[in-house]
Structure 1
Amino acid sequence: MRILVTGGAGFIGSEYVRMLLGVPGGTAEGVPALEPTAVTVLDALTYSGNLANLDPVRDDPRLRFIHGDIRHPETVEEAVAGHDVIVHFAAESHVDRSITGAAPFVTTNVLGTQTLLDAALHHRVTRFVHVSTDEVYGSIDTGSWTEDWPLAPNSPYSASKAGSDLLALAYHRTHGLDVVVTRCSNNYGPYQYPEKLVPLFVTNLLDGHTVPLYGDGGNIRDWLHVHDHCRGIALVQQKGRAGEVYHIGGGTELTNSELTGRLLDACDAGWERVVPVPDRKGHDRRYSLDISKINSELGYAPSITLDAGLSDTVHWYRDNRAWWEPLKAAAR
């Protein structure tokens, strides 16, 4: 099996590549080995793509890297040729950046996905896994979203992801392309670019700095370790039904204040290090995914508790300053 992973040098994509190639700590318990004969990573290496994320598998002869943009048809045609499966992670994904400039989100997330779908049709790819987000649903006060819930995105980022989801599913219904869509809750773990909440707070705290907390800190998110997320994607790649959507969640909902408290404890810091900041524009109040479908059909359940996952994540950032310090310095 030859697998093309778009965005495979990013946070979640690189975890999937490491898992596919079976590096220590990268194999997925409870998921039968996918045993790829070749894994190709297509990544534009924008600010959050990092070849260092692939260092653990750099010498694997099955790995090939293509530096290219999914918005460029010629690049995509060359990359897709000869592959059996596409697992599509590549996306612009930071809400704050989408608020200040939406164009890259629309062109990458919507037009880039359309370019990939056309190439998948042309080269008769046997499965297209489209990785998406719970943010496409908007906000929910009580209960949890099921996979057939209407989409109601509230940020330019989530609107662009909703558009790409609909395009992918339309290619299944119109052309018969074998497409499956996954939607996940908030990810955390090693190798996450330090603009996201968990790595931003951890690295700031490790350096003795303050951390910014939006609004009243009451926004609620479900937290999913990146390794559990990739386990769920692997199950969907193997056994998911074509044309279906599957939710992948972590099973632990916290307010941002509650999560901040856990990160402060993990970094031996106090609340005096927290600085309230004005709330994000259009900030969704609560996300919550119902994961009963992937559990009953494919046997998925999260395996890493939030306490264990956060502890391991803090230790990883403490031990890997050489990875994140240059990223933060470049962003200043």
Structure 2
Amino acid sequence: MILVTGGAGFIGSNFVLTWLAQSQEPVLNLDALTYAGNLANLASLQGDARHTFVQGDICDRALMDQLLASHRPRAIVHFAAESHVDRSIHGPGAFMKTNVDGTFTLLEAARAHWSSLQGDEKAAFRFHHVSTDEVYGSLKPSDPPFAETNAYEPNSPYSASKAASDHLVRAWHHTYGLPVVTTNCSNNYGPYHFPEKLIPLMIVNALAGKPLPVYGDGQQIRDWLYVEDHCSGIRAVLAGGRLGETYNIGGWNEKANLDIVKTVCALLDELRPDPAGPYSRLITYVTDRPGHDRRYAIDARKIERELGWRPAETFDTGIRKTVQWYLDHPEWVAQVQSGSYRDWLATNYTGRSE
């Protein structure tokens, strides 16, 4: 069995679904079910004996100890995190609590559990920490992509909290010998993505005839990674990654935000045309967020060289699958558009002048 934290969130739920699609090994799924955790993501696993869900907080040490003692997982895959930059600007405290204190608590519980193991069981145990490229800061247009050796230069409360958690994981390996691996990914997109992030927000707003808010000039560049490719990369590192090492997982797809929005609009024009005209008419430029990093890009050659991993999707194939998924799942979108979600949109976008 493996323990997955944050397994009802966007990336975590995709990982659980893809894991159980290609393995008979059971998953113990722990999620606090905050605003972005959604059990509807896991509806297809209802009644599947391989999937055990527990609602709980990684900051709860007693719960962590209990779960590890009773289920004895051979690995922990740690997704649980607050992950939205804009939310971290409005309320950084929750990011420090979950991403820093939560990771510390989980590491200590894992260390105690691992120390209790013997022989092959102890040798096989892994703690896989899932992180982000944002810990590396921002790149200039001519800079090479982020490599695993880049210095950490986080620029937002979110990325600072993730950088802190990365440092904790590294220290627990070097100080205590805890068998860890870390992966830093680029921007994910795909099914079950909570519609506060760029791609799902553009799809949902466009279908509703609402403005498509683009920060600043829209030329912020990100490396885009289809979520199922990210999941396959994590499986590769969990299976064969060297202990104490970091592996960057990227999609080799650098795109400006404005180009992403225009691509989504063009796909919707094709797949669900609007009688009122092209969806691009809804693009609205709003005041940029504070400290907005201009460019991220991942150099994913290490994971390819050592583990033979490369993304299976191009951006063209991945974004088409993503738009089609949202068109095919209006009931999921309707469910996540709860009062708290609407309150968040009002908090973040009200007052941003066009």
TM-score by length of structure 2 reads 0.89
Give the distance between the partners of 2:250 and 2:334, measured in 1 at CA. Answer: 30
Q: Distance in 2 between matches of 1:116 and 1:58?
A: 27
Distance in 2 (alpha carbons) for counterparts of 1:93 and 1:166: 17
How far apart, in 2, do the equivalents of 1:47 and 1:160 lie? 19
Matched residue SS, 1:132: strand
- Partner residue in 2 for 1:134: 133
**Which residue is equivalent to 1:74?**
62
Pick aligned residue for 2:53 from 47, 65, 72:
65
CA contact (8 A) 1:10 1:50 kept: yes
Deviations 1:235-274 (A, max 9, x none): 0000000000000001110111111110110111343210
- Structure 1: runs of 5+ lacking an equivalent: 28-32
Q: Deviations over 1:6-58 (max 9, x none)?
A: 00001100111111111xxxx4xxxxx5x41x210010000000011111122
Residue 316 of structure 2 is aligned to residue 307 of structure 1: yes
Partner of 2:250: 249
Match of 2:161 in 1: 160
The residue type equivalent to 2:50 in the other structure is: R
Match of 2:333 in 1: 324
Question: In the aligned structure 2, how far is the partner of 1:221 from the partner of 1:50?
Answer: 26
CA contact (8 A) 1:42 1:79 kept: no
Cα distance, 1:329 vs structure 2 = 3.7
1:217 and 1:9 map into 2 onto residues whose CA distance is 31
**How big is each residue's C-alpha offset from its partner over 1:59-90, in whole Å with a ceiling of 9 and x where there is no partner?**
21111111000111111112222111000000
Q: How does 1:164-203 map to 2 (within 5 A)?
A: 164-203=165-204
User: Does the alignment pair 1:285 with 2:294?
Assistant: yes
Partner letter of residue 68 of structure 2?
A: V
Residue 104 (1) aligns with residue 109 (2):
no
- Equivalence for 1:216: 217
Given candidates 111, 114, 117, the residue that maps to 2:104 is 114
Cα deviation 1:171-194 (Å, max 9, x = unaligned): 000010110000000000000111
CA distance in 2, matches of 1:65, 1:122: 23
> Greater share of helix residues, 1 or 2?
2
Alpha-carbon distance in 2 for matches of 1:66, 1:271: 42
Letter in 2 for 1:132: S
Whole-angstrom distance in 1 between the partners of 2:207 and 2:59: 38
Answering whether residue 263 of structure 2 is matched by residue 273 of structure 1, we say no
Partner amino acid for 2:158? Y
1:153 and 1:162 in contact (8 A); partners too = yes
What's the RMSD between the two structures over aligned residues? 1.0
Amino acid at match of 2:193: Q
Q: Secondary structure at the match of 1:233?
A: helix
What does residue 232 of structure 1 align with? 233
1:326 Cα shift?
2.4
Aligned residues: 320
Match of 1:123 in 2: 113
Contact 1:76-1:116 within 8 A present in 2 as well: yes
- TM-score normalized by the length of structure 1: 0.94
Quick one: distance in 2 between partners of 1:205 and 1:308? 20
> 1:308 is matched by which residue type in structure 2?
T
The separation in 2 between residues aligned to 1:96 and 1:170, in whole angstroms, is: 29
CA contact (8 A) 2:8 2:38 kept: yes
What letter is aligned with 1:131? Answer: V
| Alpha-carbon distance between aligned partners in 2 of 1:261 and 1:159, rounded to the nearest angstrom | 31
Shift of the alpha carbon at 1:289? 1.0
* SS of corresponding position for 2:35: coil
Aligned equivalent of 1:21: 20
CA contact (8 A) 1:181 1:245 kept: yes
Distance 1:42 1:271 in 2: 40
1:55 aligns with 2:43: yes
Amino acid at match of 1:235: A
Q: Max radius of gyration: which structure?
A: 2
Matches within 5 A, 1:139-154: 139-141=138-140, 142-154=143-155
Q: Deviations over 1:130-161 (max 9, x none)?
A: 00000000101121111011100000000000
Deviations, residues 163-220 of structure 1 (Å, cap 9, x unaligned): 0000001100001011000000000000011101000001111122221000001100
Q: Distance in 1 between matches of 2:183 and 2:66?
A: 26
- Confirm or deny: 8 A CA contact 1:66 1:79 kept in the other structure: no
**Letter matched to residue 73 of structure 1:** R
Task: For residue 267 of structure 1, give the secondary structure of its aligned residue in structure 2.
Answer: helix
Letter in 2 for 1:83: P
